Structures are given as structure tokens and as C-alpha cells.
Amino acid sequence: MITEEWAKNPKAEVLIECQNCHQKHHIEEILKEEPFPVPYKPKTTEVFWLCPDCGFRKHSFYMTPELRLRQQQLHLSLSKFNKSHESMDWEGYRKARASYQQAFDHEQAYVLRQIGAGNERPAV
């Protein structure tokens, strides 16, 4: 997952503080993913925070195949820019980021509709 901090400094260590016990952990230790199939998108997963100390779990977002693809494109365009430092590649990264953000919102709304959260259900 890309955070703003990571984009600016890919080698930075990102520490996350647990909201429950306030222990700090590396992002890889605490960020988990498990299958969360929804209609027409069986490969969807739920990404969540799980504290190894106290077991506190918090939903982060839903990862669908479409979103995973956009994320890969985002990683690629960012590493291209990090190598070249060309303004053209920065522009490519900016576009990939906008497209990822759009897909992110769209896919979260899709999953929420499928599991019946919110008020998007059509009246019967």
C-alpha cells in the first residue's frame, strides 16, 4: 500500500501505533489481508490492521482485482520517476495516482453496496 510518506521516501520505515494498546509496529507486521469475496468480484480481499500485541483489529479498505491493478501501475510509475527524476515521469505518476484514487473510491463503494452497507439499495 502506498502512503504519501512512502511516495516521498520509499526507504523510510513506517511505524504504526495501535489505537488500543499504543504499541508501535512496522507496517508489514500489522497490515493483514484476507479473502472477502463479493458478487462478481470473488478475488476481493479485506485489508485490515491487526495488532500483534493486543489483537485489536481495524478495517482499512477492500482490495479488488481492479484496484490491485491500479496499485501496480502506481508502483511502476513511481519507481520509474524515482530512477529518472524526469518531470514527464512525475506527470505519469500524478496521473496514475489520480486514477488509483478514483478506482479506490469506486471499488470501496461497490463492495459496500454488495454487502448491504449504506443506503444505496434500490427500493423494492
For Zn ion, the binding residues (CB under 5 A) are: 18, 20-21, 51, 53-54, 56
CB closer to Zn ion, 54 vs 76: 54
Strand 15-17 relative to strand 24-26: parallel, antiparallel, unpaired? antiparallel
Alpha-carbon span 95 to 102, nearest angstrom: 11
CB closer to Zn ion, 18 vs 63: 18
Q: How far is the CB of 9 from Zn ion (least distance, A)?
A: 26
Q: How far is the CB of 50 from Zn ion (least distance, A)?
A: 9
Q: How far is the CB of 49 from Zn ion (least distance, A)?
A: 9
CB closer to Zn ion, 58 vs 95: 58
Strand 45-50 relative to strand 24-26: parallel, antiparallel, unpaired? unpaired
Q: Are 63 and 47 in contact (CB under 8 A)?
A: yes
Q: Are 64 and 40 in contact (CB under 8 A)?
A: no
